[in-house]
Structure 1
Amino acid sequence: MPPTAAARTEVLAPAPPRGLAARLGRRLLSPWSRLSLLLVLLAGMGASVLLLEPQRLLSDGWPKQLGGAAALLVFVAAYGLCCVAFVPRPLMSLAAGALFGSTLGLVAAVGGSVLGAALSFGLGRMLGQDALRPLLRGRLLTAVDGQFSRHGFRTLLATRLFPGVPFLAANYCAAVSRTRWLPFLLATGIGIIPNTGAYVVAGARASTPTSPVFLFAMGFIAVTGLAGGAVAWWKREKFRGR
């Protein structure tokens, strides 16, 4: 027998909730919703930094209950999270040298930097890329995006070696571009070693500020900072001329 009108109504009744759920799901997963989530996460992490004050590691030292490999791993994780939460990397690198010495401090600082870069890149790629890429219409923005997309490894390596571009800004620029994961991580891991090492050594030798090693480290930081500023200015003028 053909179904009655009432039966047809009962069969079709569940359809609107499924359609509503699908629309809500699409709205929640839309590019702008994901970008809003990214901004909320970053704001929350920035607020947590103001409350926890990780810079106290330089004055108070590492908690005594943590030692050995556990302390190193916890510091790497904390360093990575602090990178995402806008804590200046030089501050954390100085702390790494003061807490662990030159060798282990460099391992901790490089590991934490790569972890923080990976977290930033992943968040930017998943939550921000789809919303921000359509906005890259200006000549300068288009040129920067093309540089990162076509020459990801080379551009990131130069950015890390000559820190004219803030670490976090470079991470998100690479995430919004079409830079791939492996070149991004390799360029970050290799490029940050010289400058990060100088900060770690400075932190390890901070108790002897007149020693040749400390003075060399501070001189290296100053020279690379000036070189980074010059490279950033030259690139900016070059992009403007395109």
Structure 2
Amino acid sequence: MLRSAAPPAGPTGLAARSSRALLSPWFRLGLLVALLAGAAATVLAVRPERLLAGGWPPQLSGGAAVVLFAVAYGLCTAAFVPRPILNLAAGALFGSPFGTAAAVAGTVLGSGISFGLGRLLGQDALRPLLRGRWLTAADRQLSRHGFRSMLAIRLFPGVPFAAANYCAAVSRMGWAPFLLATGIGSVPNTAAYVIAGSHASAPTSPAFLAAMAFIGVTGLAAVVVAWRKRGHARA
């Protein structure tokens, strides 16, 4: 009787097993958790939002400063720095038009970084855990109607920014719908914060009051929508 060949022994077999272990879904998920924990710890220690708002290099100006700020904004967003603080800093540093452009570009960049990390390191391990009516329905909505779903999430500030990025990464949503919906849907609320930041020195100005009113109305709308969704879910 022919016997199946034994698995290779020695350095070659050990290297193959190590490679499989390193590429396993759960190892990659652990790596993602470690990266996110390290990013959060770095934010707490360094407080980059303070550097962006008050310690921006004075020798930088013009388009180079806007581009560098957008890159720094994206990295800070991926490391869980709250976006409202960064948006206010963008307005204070560059004014409304250029500040909004830098903030939106940074938002898309940070979203892409988070989406890529979640898709590469977390999707394979987490997708088998999507059980239950609510989770499967949310996954189906994001996978089949990615652009429309993400656009609605970005327009209403009730859903945490980072959570939306990683939920979309675990779903089967494509890159293009995710980034396009993020860019379009983030404009209104981002612009409102940037305008508020650019007029922070004049809190009684019409522009500042209008921006704060818009932020308040959208926040209230998000609460109402979440409350109604919760009622429907209970029903």
TM bin (shorter chain): over 0.9
In the alignment, structure 1 segments of 5+ residues that lack a partner are 1-11
1:226 equivalenced with 2:220 (yes/no)? yes
2:204 corresponds in structure 1 to 210
CA distance in 1, matches of 2:169, 2:146: 10
CA distance in 2, matches of 1:223, 1:58: 28
Q: In the TM superposition, what whole-angstrom CA distance separates every residue of 1:87-120 from its partner, at most 9, and x where no partner exists?
A: 1101100000000000000000000000000000
1:34 corresponds in structure 2 to 28
Which stretch shows the higher mean deviation, 58-67 or 104-113?
58-67
- For residue 143 of structure 1, report the CA deviation from its aligned partner: 1.5
2:48 corresponds in structure 1 to 54
- For residue 75 of structure 1, report the CA deviation from its aligned partner: 0.8
CA distance in 2, matches of 1:85, 1:229: 26
Contact in 1 for aligned 2:53/2:93 (Cα 8 Å): no
1:85 equivalenced with 2:79 (yes/no)? yes
Question: Map of 1:16-165 to 2, 5 A cutoff?
Answer: 16-57=10-51, 60-165=54-159
Q: TM-score, normalised by structure 1?
A: 0.90
Contact in 2 for aligned 1:58/1:98 (Cα 8 Å): no
- The aligned length equals 229
Contact in 2 for aligned 1:198/1:217 (Cα 8 Å): yes
CA distance in 1, matches of 2:228, 2:28: 34
Question: Structure 1's 240 and 120: CA in aligned 2 closer, same or farther, altered over 3 A?
Answer: farther
- For residue 186 of structure 1, report the CA deviation from its aligned partner: 0.6
- For residue 144 of structure 1, report the CA deviation from its aligned partner: 1.2
CA distance in 2, matches of 1:236, 1:29: 39
Please point out which of 183, 187, 194 is paired with 1:189. 183
- For residue 226 of structure 1, report the CA deviation from its aligned partner: 1.1
- For residue 61 of structure 1, report the CA deviation from its aligned partner: 4.3
CA distance in 2, matches of 1:238, 1:55: 39
Contact in 1 for aligned 2:53/2:92 (Cα 8 Å): no
Q: Helix, strand or coil: the match of 1:149?
A: helix
- For residue 232 of structure 1, report the CA deviation from its aligned partner: 2.7
Question: Structure 1's 18 and 69: CA in aligned 2 closer, same or farther, altered over 3 A?
Answer: same
CA distance in 2, matches of 1:91, 1:34: 31
Query: Counterpart of 1:145 in structure 2: which amino acid?
Result: D
Radius of gyration: which is bigger? Answer: 1
Query: Counterpart of 2:228 in structure 1: which amino acid?
Result: W
The CA RMSD measured in Å over matched residues stands at 1.7
Q: In the TM superposition, what whole-angstrom CA distance separates every residue of 1:102-159 from its partner, at most 9, and x where no partner exists?
A: 0000000000000000000000000000010111112221111111111111110000
Contact in 1 for aligned 2:147/2:177 (Cα 8 Å): yes
Query: Counterpart of 1:115 in structure 2: which amino acid?
Result: L
CA distance in 1, matches of 2:115, 2:233: 23
Q: Helix, strand or coil: the match of 1:131?
A: helix
CA distance in 1, matches of 2:70, 2:218: 24
1:6 corresponds in structure 2 to none
Contact in 2 for aligned 1:27/1:33 (Cα 8 Å): yes
Contact in 2 for aligned 1:80/1:115 (Cα 8 Å): yes
CA distance in 1, matches of 2:234, 2:51: 42
